[in-house]
Structure 1
Amino acid sequence: MFTHAEPLTGDVSTTRKGVPAYAWVVFVLTVGLLLSDYMSRQVLNAVFPMLKAAWHLSDTRLGSLSSVVALMVGVLTFPLSVLADRWGRVKSIVLMAAMWSLATLGCALATNYGEMLLARAFVGIGEAAYGSVGIAVVLSIFPARLRATLTAAFMAGGAFGSVLGMALGGAVAAHFGWRAAFGAMAALGIMLVVFYRFAITEKRLAPLQPANVGRQAQGAGVCMSLRTLIQGLFSTKSVVCAYVGSGIHLLVPAAVWAWMPSFLNRYYGMPAGKAAMGAAVFVLATAFGMVVCGNLADRLSKHARERKWSTAVAFCLICFVLLTIGFRMPAGPAQLVVIGAGMFFCAGATGPSGAMVANLTPPSIHASAFATLTLANNLLGLAPAAVLTGIVADRIGLLGALQLVPFAPLVAAVAFFIGKRNYGVDLDRLSALREQAGS
């Protein structure tokens, strides 16, 4: 099936014993830009009440301002990731970050819904391939044994960025207005772009990558036919299940992050600034949960490769139970505690999903593989979450809409369970194909 011979690492660690200090510098700076990415994306949620009052917007229109970003990411992540492999990942990262920062500045200058929607669309275009290209850069310079942990930590950077975007954006908006909140996020992004541009280069990354991975990762987009690329991306049932399960289970954090400030504003009587700060706590719970769950998945699967799937199923089921109970409880501290516990597990399958995608695809197409994962994450979960919740909320109220959201991880658990049943056979088959190609 593959026309090239290269390692499909599965759950086996690389032979590199230590991790160079510069690798951690790359990780920190790449996550730093991811923080800016999500700060620019989620600052909008902090000012939902202000925009609703200023422009008399319906919940559907408010939700569309959030969902259009994820929609652009979903539609463009794959083609832009392939272009990044051809043009250069570092240069692409710098260009993308500059675009979303300038588009966020455009949000600050918008005078009506149409202008804001256009600016938000360009935020999405800028962010489209960052997640897939960024994580491909990180995974290329670290041992395979750390994949679930690194993937979870990297993706958790999005949650932490959401916290900062909502909390800082809400605080700035409360004192200086919603336009200043967007302006602050834009300024931070531009500063990080300049720093990243001078600190990280393809030339400095090359010595940290295994020789075959470094060459192939940069040449894959040029040398590999589209048919071979598609075969590598969708070669097994289990990798398809990883894409689908990951995308569907992320509908929960996307919906709750987008609407929690409004939930606290409407049902707890909190002013916009305080509601944004309160909602940030739930996003923070998700971020810590992603890291803890990813690390737990790596630890539990050291000697049993299928356990990553089992942990993904468990995290989804726990989230379903806790949030189903939480959103049906009466308003009060107990309700918020149960919802917070559910949010801790709501993105717990992110790390295992990313590790499975990396294990089931060749290193030379990891940027494209993570682009496909990002596509699934956005089209199945992140993009429709806010706007669908808004549409339902216009009909049965926001609380009723949020009570339906927890059923998404139940569906994701089924996908992960199917993936688990096929995983061992798929890994063995891919290893046999690799040996065949190498002989």
Structure 2
Amino acid sequence: MTGISSTPDQTDATSEKLPGMVYRSWFMFVLILVSASVVGERFMMAVMVGPIKAELKLSDTEIGLAKDMAIAIVYIIAVLPLARLADRWSKRKIIALSAGLWSIAVLICGAAKGFWMLLVGRALIGLGEGGYTPASQSWIADHFPLRQRATAMAIFLLGASLGNFLGPAVGGWLTHNYGWREAMFYAFLPGIVLAPIVWFTLRDVRPGLADNVSKADAEVQPFVATVKQLLAIRTLPLLMLSSALNTLITMGLVSWAPAFVERSHGMSAQDAGIQMGGALFLGSVIGHTVGGPLSDWLGRRDLRWYIWMGMLCGAAAMVIAWLALSAPMNLVFPLLGLNMLIGGMSAAPLLAVIAGLAPAHSRSVAVALLMIAINVIGLGLGPVFVGWLSDMLTPAYGQEALGMAMRIVLLVGGPSFVLAWLASRACLGDFDRAGGWSAGKPVAAALH
């Protein structure tokens, strides 16, 4: 197929021919927009805290629970069973329904009369994310062979970068001009428009087709057997833990950077937010754009480059972060942007390896396990760990305690580097058993 399917009835999950590049370009474009929608809707509340807190008379604790914790808890609980469903059912339908769900959830938040209604709305956003993340990444792997997969993942990640920028930026403008409730209503529109576009113009592709895996070998296995099989692939748990530790460092830096420059350099919160947003957006976009194609190019010469790139980028990012924490005020955010650029180059290769080593029938579950590790260790512990260290160090370091705590967290990069190195030693054997590719062509998979 070289065009866009016009009706859902034309969806053919059993087709033995990959869709043409025109269709796959449209497929990637739609997924970028959907990613921008969910990420933007999640993070736009960060610029609405003041008016929401004042109108609903909420405490900082209640704001924190609704803004972040509700999404994180529901996501962690829901992502694995929803990933399992994605491997057994239609990824197209799951993503379309997820987009509709998080859009309705934003509408519920906009209509909230108190804490509990706001909490329910935010929790439903987490449920929608839990359905979308594993299904989308697995769906991309269904469409692109290994030699193109990191590039495809890099393109996909641009949607998250766009959402990270547009959510707070557009949300802040709408809140300032129309109020937070009206801003929530406008945020409801993108997902509710994109849901039918996904449902009616995209189609499922048989898992394993891009890797020359037969239909019989791609049949879904029992859940416990699936998880055991994934964890038996030595590279996967090593990479998942390494990535979770890297995320712990990243979130420890990003979540505390504005407070760091305010305490250590006297910068205003408004200036810190603007500078950090621009630096992180540019850094992540460039890093994702470069990282995918570069890893695919290097990976054609040696598959270990998919992991070596993450190792080297992680080490370089830690050095740059250390320099940022010791630099003059005018260099802090440029260096943090460079940190995000270098670190972001490893994201697409990571996703490509996870999708490339996981059996075709359990790719969504593999992505879900990665997301659980990242959310529990990285997103959950990173900011809290830095805050706790800062409190412990305050009697000795005063206003500089936060900066010292952020430097200490960078030491986690050591274990992360070692885990990635161990993964690189195991990956060639795992790629041989999983199929991988030879001379640029995917081969039949023994593990799948």
Q: Same fold (TM over 0.5)?
A: yes
What letter is aligned with 1:248?
L
Q: Which residue in 2 is equivalent to 1:11?
A: none
Please point out which of 417, 424, 439 is paired with 1:420.
424
Contact 1:248 1:412 in 2 (8 A): yes
Matched, 1:268 2:267: yes
What letter is aligned with 1:246?
S
**Cα distance change of structure 1 residues 364 and 206 upon mapping to structure 2, 3 Å threshold:** closer
Per-residue CA deviations over 1:105-143 (Å, capped at 9, x if unaligned) read 222233444443332222101110311101111221122
Q: Which residue in 1 is equivalent to 2:299?
A: 301
Question: What SS is found at the alignment partner of 2:327?
Answer: coil
Per-residue CA deviations over 1:263-318 (Å, capped at 9, x if unaligned) read 677852254xx655433313311232122122222222221121222111111111
Please point out which of 158, 173, 180 is paired with 1:171.
173
Q: Which residue in 2 is equivalent to 1:8?
A: none
% identical aligned pairs: 24
Q: Aligned runs of 1:60-71 on 2, under 5 Å?
A: 62=64, 65-71=67-73
**Cα distance change of structure 1 residues 362 and 104 upon mapping to structure 2, 3 Å threshold:** same
Per the normalisation by structure 1, the TM-score is 0.82
Q: Which residue in 2 is equivalent to 1:78?
A: 80
**Cα distance change of structure 1 residues 211 and 269 upon mapping to structure 2, 3 Å threshold:** closer
Matched, 1:26 2:27: yes
**Cα distance change of structure 1 residues 32 and 81 upon mapping to structure 2, 3 Å threshold:** same
Contact 1:156 1:290 in 2 (8 A): yes
Per-residue CA deviations over 1:388-409 (Å, capped at 9, x if unaligned) read 5566667757944555554444
In 1, Cα distance between the equivalents of 2:390 and 2:36? 29
CA RMSD of aligned residues (A): 3.5
Give the C-alpha shift of residue 187 in structure 1: 2.0
Please point out which of 275, 279, 295 is paired with 2:276.
279
**Cα distance change of structure 1 residues 90 and 212 upon mapping to structure 2, 3 Å threshold:** same
Give the C-alpha shift of residue 59 in structure 1: 7.5
Per-residue CA deviations over 1:412-433 (Å, capped at 9, x if unaligned) read 222211111222233345569x
Question: What SS is found at the alignment partner of 1:346?
Answer: helix
Give the C-alpha shift of residue 34 in structure 1: 0.9
Q: Which residue in 2 is equivalent to 1:35?
A: 36
In 2, Cα distance between the equivalents of 1:306 and 1:76? 33
Per-residue CA deviations over 1:324-348 (Å, capped at 9, x if unaligned) read 2212334x22222112111212333
Q: Which protein, 1 or 2, shows the higher relative CO under an 8 Å CA cutoff with sep ≥ 6? A: 1
Structure 2 unpaired stretches of 5+: 1-15, 437-443
Contact 1:323 1:342 in 2 (8 A): yes
Question: May I ask how many residue pairs the two structures share in their alignment?
Answer: 415
Contact 2:279 2:337 in 1 (8 A): yes
Contact 1:248 1:409 in 2 (8 A): yes
What letter is aligned with 1:419?
A
Question: What SS is found at the alignment partner of 2:326?
Answer: coil
**Cα distance change of structure 1 residues 436 and 103 upon mapping to structure 2, 3 Å threshold:** closer
Q: Aligned runs of 1:207-222 on 2, under 5 Å?
A: 209=209, 215=215, 220-221=219-220
In 2, Cα distance between the equivalents of 1:253 and 1:49? 26
**Cα distance change of structure 1 residues 190 and 131 upon mapping to structure 2, 3 Å threshold:** same
Contact 1:250 1:381 in 2 (8 A): yes
In 2, Cα distance between the equivalents of 1:146 and 1:188? 29
Contact 1:316 1:410 in 2 (8 A): no
Per-residue CA deviations over 1:175-234 (Å, capped at 9, x if unaligned) read 3333333332222221222332222233xx4699559658469x734xx12243123311
Contact 1:43 1:181 in 2 (8 A): no
Matched, 1:45 2:43: no
In 1, Cα distance between the equivalents of 2:273 and 2:346? 26
Question: What SS is found at the alignment partner of 1:297?
Answer: helix
Question: What SS is found at the alignment partner of 1:110?
Answer: coil
Q: Which residue in 1 is equivalent to 2:231?
A: 234
What letter is aligned with 1:128?
G
Contact 1:60 1:394 in 2 (8 A): no
Q: Which moved more, 1:97-106 or 1:401-410?
A: 401-410
What letter is aligned with 2:351?
G
Please point out which of 307, 310, 332 is paired with 2:308.
310
What letter is aligned with 1:316?
G
Q: Which residue in 1 is equivalent to 2:4?
A: none
What letter is aligned with 2:362?
I
What letter is aligned with 1:97?
A
In 2, Cα distance between the equivalents of 1:208 and 1:437? 11
Give the C-alpha shift of residue 386 in structure 1: 4.5
Contact 2:207 2:360 in 1 (8 A): no
Q: Which residue in 1 is equivalent to 2:334?
A: 337
Contact 1:46 1:166 in 2 (8 A): yes
Please point out which of 287, 290, 296 is paired with 1:289.
287
**Cα distance change of structure 1 residues 251 and 153 upon mapping to structure 2, 3 Å threshold:** farther
Matched, 1:244 2:241: yes
What letter is aligned with 1:361?
A
Per the normalisation by structure 2, the TM-score is 0.80
Contact 1:45 1:259 in 2 (8 A): no
Q: Which residue in 2 is equivalent to 1:160?
A: 162
**Cα distance change of structure 1 residues 96 and 386 upon mapping to structure 2, 3 Å threshold:** farther
Question: What SS is found at the alignment partner of 1:327?
Answer: helix
Structure 1 unpaired stretches of 5+: 1-14
Q: Which moved more, 1:301-310 or 1:61-70?
A: 61-70
Contact 2:433 2:447 in 1 (8 A): no
Per-residue CA deviations over 1:16-50 (Å, capped at 9, x if unaligned) read 99952101111111121111110011112333465
**Cα distance change of structure 1 residues 82 and 142 upon mapping to structure 2, 3 Å threshold:** same
